[in-house]
Amino acid sequence: MIKATEAEKREILDFLAGDAANCLYLYMDIYWYGLDGDIISVWYEKKDGAFSLIVMKFFSTLQVYSPENDFDPAAFLELFRQENCERVFSRRATVEMLAPYFGDGFYCEFGKVIEIKKYRKFLKEYPKVEQATPADLPEITRLLLMDEENAKSYAYEELLSSLQSLYDTGMGRSYVLREDGKIVAHTSISAESDIFAIGAYTIVHPGYRDTFCGMILDSYMCNVATGEKKLFGFMTDERRIKMFSALGNPPVTEYGKLIKK
């Protein structure tokens, strides 16, 4: 693998944009952080003059994109260990290909990517929806860790640092609903470029899940916050997937994670 530099940034982004749904976070992080800083590290391989593999380290995760899975899993595992990582994130087919090489010390999780083109206008106005500030991030982090998948995947400090980096760079923004002074529902655009946006981290406090909080935030983000950009969401909850599909937003691909036990 060759370590990428800023000179390759545009070429890499153009390559990733051609299959954005399968490598959105790779695209976004390279777009925002660049390749000469200390936030991310990126490696690549080429075959016959074209990219065959892009790998990015972000915190303790290696994200990988190879449209044909045309790379050496053993070499990838060596890089994973060398960089002291704990998770792999990629399209489902790549995670399934890598899993046997990682062994019993890791488990897989899978979800679906939705391109959100349609969502009902829940309200004419959204007076209770607030854009969160950095001061809200500790409370948002604690709320997100009430979700079982988030709690298995992230420690508090790592998730808080990841959210803080979105504010520091300006690449993301969060929206919340409050009741009695506490945040009871959250959603976010976790990253956006000139042409793509990612909706993520939608959660409602367990004590408020029989309310309309989740629908209000979904509607706000889909109809107000994203403008003309292509909006994608990563989902594991089958009820949400079925709901978005019924509204005219069927899954466009599947993603996976390999997580250290």
Write the pLDDT tens digit of every residue in 108-166.
999 999 999 888 887 777 889 999 999 999 999 999 999 988 888 788 998 999 899 88
State the CATH class of domain 2-112.
alpha beta
Q: Where are the domains of the chain?
A: 2-112, 116-253
The answer to whether the CB of 224 falls within 8 A of the CB of 189 is no
**pTM for the structure as a whole:** 0.84
Instruction: Dump pLDDT digits (tens) for 163-178.
Output: 998 888 888 889 999 9
Instruction: Dump pLDDT digits (tens) for 3-56.
Output: 999 999 999 999 999 999 999 999 999 999 999 888 899 999 999 999 999 999
The domain made up of 116-253 has a fold known as: Aminopeptidase (3.40.630)
Evaluate whether 2-112 and 116-253 have a shared fold: yes
182-192, strands of its sheet edge to edge: 2-3, 40-47, 50-58, 61-65, 87-91, 251-260, 106-116, 230-235, 196-204, 182-192, 173-179, 130-131
